[in-house]
Amino acid sequence: MQPFYELALAILRAFPQILLTDNALIYWLFVFLISLQYQRVAQMETRLYGITKNPVLEQTLLSMAFGLLGGLIASFLMVFIGVTVLPAGIAYLWILALLLMGLHPRYMCFSYSGGIISLSYLLFGVPKISISGLMGLVAVLHLTEGILIWASGALRPTPIYLKNRQDQVVGGFMLQRFWPVPVIMVMAVMVADPSVLTGLIAMPDWWPLIRPEGVNLDAPNVILAMLPVMAGLGYADLALTQTPQQRSRQSAGNLFLFSGVLLLLSILSSHHRLFQWLAALFSPLGHELVVITSGRRELSGKALYRKPERGVMVLDVLPHSPAETMGLKSRDIILDINGKATNNEGEIREAINEFPYLLEVTVLEAGSEAEKVLYYRRHLADLGAIFVPEGNEANRLELRQEGFLLKFWREKIAPWWRRVWSGPPKEKI
């Protein structure tokens, strides 16, 4: 255990330095890009509900805190397992991921770019990478992402209306989290004079578990060094048939399974070439299977946030609102206000306008048959609650997403091409 104790201390000493060296610029660039994503979410909330439910600064700081925790976890996993990569493989991974993001935002995931690069190397011999190391990196990052989703994926969900596969307008939540993750990983590097190196740690013979192909780790001028790398992780999901907490835990479980299988294939691929093919194929296809089956289940299943037989169901409450103050929660059903039955949002507004200084609200608690009475004894103009849709809402969210390359093609290139192809306009006779 002594070598791993020394490794743990080395990671803890090196981790804070990531934010104090040249990598700090990349880290803060990631933070800036993540803040832009949260700004887009805040603008959508304002457009839909007239208020920003999740402030950008608060969201960004929360992501930074969880991202640093995730980076520390990923660093321990990478180094203790011995996921050894070649420096060039990281660069190829990022370049292709950014290009794929131009087609669709979710294709920025390393599982797609890592699988494509690995298959290119297997088929054509380029680019020169270590498949087992690259797939091991993808596996550990997804395992870390699963941990972050389990811990914070359901935080700050955005309430939405959208159409499901049955063409019904339903309520639910959009889950979006982004994390800047600095990671310390093991890389095989060549040195001119190994004798001048100090602070080397003698590791057991079985370590590392994932060895880079084509590199002789026993050569005197080859060492395994711990070097920092920046990664960005993201989570986007819908909670329509489950609560955000249930949905994020299920998504985390799916990622644990995916990353566990990929990590096993990565370890085996460093010993047998057949498993290199299996890992390269499983990385994009397995991840796509998880995404497709998961999304289909939410859009096709029975909606959780639907209009009840009696009363009005609360989808979400706005921060610092009267609804939050009196204790209303998501999935509570408002049965009556001041003794007056409420079966739609209009009747709730009428009841508030009639008694704006004293509210006695009878509520059926979420997920139970127990009734409770809530009180609000101050003036209010609006309850500050978002209710499940009644079926005719116009402010529903469209799920269409496309990358910047496809958008540029659709808005600029395609119209130009159609004009060129059709030729000059013909004169009417």
DSSP state, residue 106: G
Which domains, ranges and CATH numbers included, belong to the chain?
A: 2-193+206-300 (no CATH), 312-387 (2.30.42.10)
DSSP secondary structure of 398-414: P-----HHHHHIIIIIH
pLDDT grade for 56, boundaries at 50, 70 and 90 = very high
Give the tens place of pLDDT for each residue, 70-94. 999 999 999 889 888 877 778 888 8
The span from the CA of 35 to the CA of 57, in Å, is 7
The arithmetic mean of pLDDT across residues 212-234, rounded, is: 78
Give the tens place of pLDDT for each residue, 169-189. 889 999 989 999 999 888 877
Least confident of 19-33, 305-319, 388-402: 388-402
* Single pTM value for the model: 0.86
∠ CA 107-110-112, nearest 5°, is: 55
Residues with Cβ within 8 Å of residue 106, at least 6 apart in sequence: 236, 291, 401
**Cα–Cα distances in Å, from 175 out to 110, 154, 166, 326?**
20, 6, 22, 26
